[in-house]
Amino acid sequence: MSDAIVTALLELADDHLVLGHRLSEWCGHAPMLEEDLALPSMGLDLIGAARVLYTRAGEIEGKGRGEDDFAYLRDERAYRNCLLVERPNGDFAQTMLRQLYFAAFMEPYWKAALGSSDAVVQGLAAKALKEVAYHIRHSAEWVIRLGDGTAESAARMAEAVVELHGYTDELFLSSEAAQAAEAAGILPGRAALRTAWEAALKPVFAEAQLDWPEKVWPQSGGRKGEHGEALGHMLAEMQVIARAHPGAVW
Amino acid sequence: MSVTDLSAAQAGARAWAAAAAVPDPEIPVVTVADLGILRAVTLRDGVAVAQVSPTYTGCPAVLAIELAVEAALRDAGFEARVERQLSPPWTTDWITEEGREKLRAYGIAPPAQAANSVRALFGESVVACPRCGSEATEKLSDFGSTPCKAQYRCRDCLEPFDHFKCI
C-alpha cells in the first residue's frame, strides 16, 4: 500500500521536475528578456512542487531517500513522468502549447487535491493552484498570439498541435499506483478532469484560430518507465554533476 | 541577560524579536515579519522553533531565509530550529501595512489587498507607480527578477518598476 502511494507521488513529482527542467533550458536562450525570466520562473514553481512531493514520498517510503536521491540517482526507466512533459522544447509554439496542456490539466487537479487526506499534498495544492493560474494565462496568451499571428507563426502553432496533442491523453490515465492513492483519498482522480481541461482549452484554440483535433493517436508509457529518447539526454545533463561528485552537498 | 534568566514570556518575546528582524535576502528593506512569512516563534523544551512559510513553492530564497532566521535565534542565545509551514498557504494579504509602505518607498509597487480575488490574481486591479503615484501604468510581463514580482512601466514618469504580484 505505502509502496503504491510512494510511486504515485513520484509520478506527480517527476511530471513537475521534468517539465520544470525543460523550462529552465530556455534560460539564456529565450527571444527576449521578459521570456528569459518568465520561463524559468514557471520552471521554479514546478521544481518547487517536485521538491515537496519527493520529500513527502521519501518520508512515506521511510528508507532515508530524499529529494536529491529521487531527482539525481534514478535512471530513465525509473522515472515515471508522462510523455508530454519530456518532449523537447522545440520552438516557442511547442514550448507554450506543452505548458498550456499541462497547466490546464493541473489547475482542476490541484483544485481537487485541496480535499486530499494528506496534509502535505493539501498544502501544496493550495499554493500551486495560485501559481498555475499564472502559467495558464501566460501560455494561453502566447498560443493565441502565435496561432492568430503571421502565416509562419500560425503554421508552427498548428504543427505544435499535431506534434503534442497525442501525448495529452496520458494525463487522464491513472496507473495502478495512482488508483491506490486515489482510493486512499491522497490524490484526485484523473479521468474526471477531462471536461474541465477541454472547457479551458477549447476557447483558447478558437481564439487562436486553431482546429481542435478530433482524431488523435494517443501515446502513453511514461508511467511504466517507457520513455522517448529525449528524456535520457535530458537526465544525463541534469544528473551529471550529482553523479560525478557522489554525496556532495551544498 | 542570558536566556535562562528570563521568564517564559520574556524569552518568547526576545525570540520573536530576533527572528522578526531578519531581512528578506532579495528585498532587504522588508523583514520576514513585514512579509508575514514568519508565522510564529514558540519555545518548546528550551528550543526556539520558528515557523516560516515560503512565498512561492520554488522560491530560491526559502533556504537562505530559513538559515538566516535560525542564525538570528542562535545569536539571541537560543537553541533554534526552523519548520517550513506550507498550510495554510502564504498570501500577499499577510504583508503588513508597514511592509507595504517599505516596498513602495523602495520602488516596488505593493500588491493589492484581497489577493485571493480573481480580479487581483489576474492583475486587473490598478497598480500605481511607486515613484510618481500615477495610475497610468502598464504591465510588461507577469514574471520578473524574482518569482514574486511582475514588471511594469509608468506611462507618466516613464520609469520601469517592479510590482509585488498578488498570490
Give me the percent of chain B exceeding a pLDDT of 70: 92
- Give the residue from A39, A42, A44 with the most B CB atoms within 10 Å of its CB, the best one to mutate: A44
pLDDT, tens digit, for every residue of B95-107?
999 999 999 999 9
Q: Is residue B116 scored above 70 in pLDDT?
A: no
CA distance A70 to chain B (A): 17
The single-letter code of the amino acid at A98 is R
pLDDT of residue B124: 56
Give the C-alpha separation, B29 to A221, whole Å.
50
Determine contact: A22 vs chain B, CB below 8 A. Answer: no
CB pairs under 8 A between A and B: 74
Q: Is residue B150 scored above 80 in pLDDT?
A: yes
Note whether B167 contacts A126, CB cutoff 8 Å. no
Note whether A44 contacts B144, CB cutoff 8 Å. no
**DSSP character for A175?**
P
Q: Is residue B144 scored above 90 in pLDDT?
A: no
Q: Give the confidence band of B2 by pLDDT, cuts at 50, 70, 90.
A: confident
Give the C-alpha separation, B55 to B167, whole Å.
9
Query: Which residues between 102 and 131 in chain B have a beta carbon less than 8 angstroms from any beta carbon of chain A?
Result: 121-122
Q: Give the confidence band of A250 by pLDDT, cuts at 50, 70, 90.
A: low
Q: Does a structural domain hold residue A41?
A: yes
The three cell numbers locating residue A56:
513527502
pLDDT, tens digit, for every residue of A124-153?
999 999 999 999 999 999 999 999 999 999
Q: Does a structural domain hold residue A15?
A: yes
Please compute the mean of the pLDDT values over residues A99-117 and round it to a whole number.
Answer: 98
| Sign of the CA dihedral running A219, A223, A225, A229 | positive
Please compute the mean of the pLDDT values over residues B125-138 and round it to a whole number.
Answer: 89
Give me the percent of chain B exceeding a pLDDT of 90: 56
CA distance B29 to chain A (A): 23
Note whether B87 contacts A119, CB cutoff 8 Å. yes
Q: Is residue B117 scored above 60 in pLDDT?
A: no
Q: Give the confidence band of A155 by pLDDT, cuts at 50, 70, 90.
A: very high
Other C-beta atoms closer than 10 Å to the C-beta of B48 total 28
Residue from A178, A50, A192, A58 nearest A124 by CA? A50
Q: Does a structural domain hold residue A107?
A: yes
Chain A hits for B167, Cβ within 8 Å: 130-131
Q: Do the Cβ atoms of B31 and B16 come closer than 8 Å?
A: no
Number of domains comprising chain A: 1
pLDDT of residue B123: 52
**DSSP character for B56?**
S
Residue A48 maps to which CATH number?
Answer: 1.20.1260.10
Q: Give the confidence band of B88 by pLDDT, cuts at 50, 70, 90.
A: confident
CB neighbour class for A69 (10 Å; exposed up to 12, middle 13-18, buried from 19): middle
Give the structural domain span for A240.
Answer: 2-244
Q: Does a structural domain hold residue A250?
A: no
The three cell numbers locating residue B156:
507618466
- Angle among Cα B164, B20, B42 to the nearest 5 degrees reads 125
3-state SS assignment for residue B146: coil
Name the one residue in this structure whose C-alpha cell is 522588508: B30
Question: How high does pLDDT run on average in chain A?
Answer: 96
- A126 → closest Cβ in B56, B89, B121: B89
Give the C-alpha separation, A8 to A121, whole Å.
12
Structural domain B3-84, CATH architecture: 2-Layer Sandwich (3.30)
3-state SS assignment for residue B40: strand
Determine contact: A123 vs chain B, CB below 8 A. Answer: yes
Q: Give the confidence band of B119 by pLDDT, cuts at 50, 70, 90.
A: very low
Note whether A34 contacts B167, CB cutoff 8 Å. no
3-state SS assignment for residue A75: coil
Note whether A37 contacts B145, CB cutoff 8 Å. yes
**Beta pairing partners, B52:** B38, B84
pLDDT of residue B74: 96
**Domain assignments of chain B as residue spans, ordered by start:** 3-84, 95-164
Q: Is residue A64 scored above 70 in pLDDT?
A: yes
Question: How high does pLDDT run on average in chain B?
Answer: 87
Give the CA dihedral A49, A243, A88, A145, nearest 10 degrees. 40
**DSSP character for B152?**
E
Name the residue with higher pLDDT: A115 or B86.
A115
Note whether B141 contacts A38, CB cutoff 8 Å. yes
pLDDT, tens digit, for every residue of B15-69?
999 999 999 998 899 999 999 999 999 999 889 999 999 888 888 888 899 999 9
